[in-house]
Amino acid sequence: MRITRFFISVLTLATAAFAADLTGNWLVKQESPDGNVRETYFDLKQDGTSINGVTRSAQFGERKIESGTIDAEGNVTLVAAPPNNRKGNGQKIQAKFVNGALRVTMTGRPGTQPEEVTASRAAAGAGIIERIPPPALKKVPYNGLAKTPPMGWNSWNKFAGRVTQEDVKGMADAIVSSGMKKAGYIYVNIDDTWEGMRDANGNITTNKKFPDMKGLADYVHSKGLKLGIYSSPGPKTCAGYEGSYGHELQDAKQYAAWGIDYLKYDWCSAGRVYKPEDEQAVYQKMGEALQATGRPIVYSLCQYGAVDVWKWGPEVSGNLWRTTGDIRDTWDSMSKIGFDQGRLAEYAAPGHWNDPDMLEIGNGGMTNDEYKVHMSLWSLLSAPLLAGNDLRSASKEILDILTNAEVIAIDQDPAGNQATRATQNGDLEVWVKELHDGSKAVGLFNLGAAAADISVKWGDVKIQSGKHKLRDLWAHKEVKAEADGYSANVPSHGVVLIRIAK
């Protein structure tokens, strides 16, 4: 009995030593090499050896600590719920509490080693983001831009968070030297991770990777190109950098001062403070801010096709809106996204485009036949053509796909119609697009595993029987048709794209 009481007394003393100090709000700051600072709060309550509470960050919101313990040596284990209400196991977080100091082992970006960071005590409630009510709905006038789908390049698919100012300059050079500019590719768009912290006046700054955004814009403009940038209506971007929440007009003015020509506005952490029914008003806020600058800036909405964005995108002065989740450089991803777009055809029009995400052509995950399907389908869909590969090292074959003038003309047709599926027979599909001059673009797609003959009857694509002028846009030659239609042998995961003139 004495031994039992002795151990109980020791345990009581050990847990009591931690009870007074561990309870409270703790702040962990992690600085990345580019100067970005990530803040995570641990709002903890200790009861003996048990710990509960929440973790809080602007990027991932508030997550409940599902379980937590501390032992007599001060070793702390917390299990936080998965972010974004996802299913699966919670995140295990290890920490050490010694002499009143809390050292937390934090994970960084994929591929980086965990680091032990000292937490500091924070005021109660620190880290809670106050919701700013969105404005009342009203129509923002059309900005007069993007009368044909925007063409250019975006950094994310190839570089993700590694993109630098020198990469962007190099890509601008390559757009000119490769013939991409001549083909119509004009926008050079920086995606996430350019952002620095805000200064004392709340102005957004750039990080170490982008030391001179104004100088970069001047450089891109000197090439006859335009510069695009990225932000989020939330407190943080998808990669955890500074968003535009509460600073919309201030940021728009800064973009204009730098000479920015295009904004991709990505929902991300906005979901921590807004509800889905707020999205139109939230995007309206930035649409108004951009127009208030007086500078023509293409407005790209990126909220992954939620809440029928195609119905209200034009109302917020959106020039294009994402209709899907992120594309990957695989046949499965590209084909599932692309061949699901026909249902949205009625919402495409000059100045306002459905956006099934950026091009993966040249990133190595698909064959050249599959990349031709990618280019053909996006052009039939009147989709933005934003290359996502490293143009400095692109092969001739890849550049030939990206710069095929006859295919690009289908995408850039001034009528602004979007193709729809005319017929489907298992893995064989025919898509048709009405062009401004009365001609039609017709795509014969083979989604199957072996080459196959695909036939299209004139009635299937609403063409009267008779003589027609047909041109194969990949073979760059005239082809012959039968009296009632056209047939071609199409390779596996391949396409034959023809233009049919009256």
Q: Which residues are catalytic?
A: 266, 326
Phi, psi of 51 (to 5 degrees): -130, 135
Of the candidates 248, 196, 213, 180, the one whose C-alpha atom is nearest the C-alpha of residue 396 is 180
Q: 11-27 burial string, b = 16+ CB within 10 Å, else e? A: eeebbeebeeebebbbb
Phi, psi of 98 (to 5 degrees): -135, 130
Q: Please list, in sequence order, all residues whose beta carbon lies within 8 angstroms of the beta carbon of residue 17, skipping any fewer than 6 positions away.
A: none
In angstroms, the Cα distances linking 72 to 17, 53, 64, 65, 96 are 9, 20, 24, 20, 11
CA separation for the pair 52, 432 (Å, rounded): 59
Beta bridge partners of 263: 229, 299
Phi, psi of 248 (to 5 degrees): -60, -55
Phi, psi of 244 (to 5 degrees): -100, 10
Q: How does strand 226-231 pair with strand 204-206?
A: unpaired
Q: How does strand 385-387 pair with strand 151-154?
A: parallel
Sign of the torsion formed by the C-alpha atoms of 406, 410, 412 and 413: positive
Cα-atom radius of gyration of the chain, to the nearest Å?
A: 27
Phi, psi of 39 (to 5 degrees): -115, 130
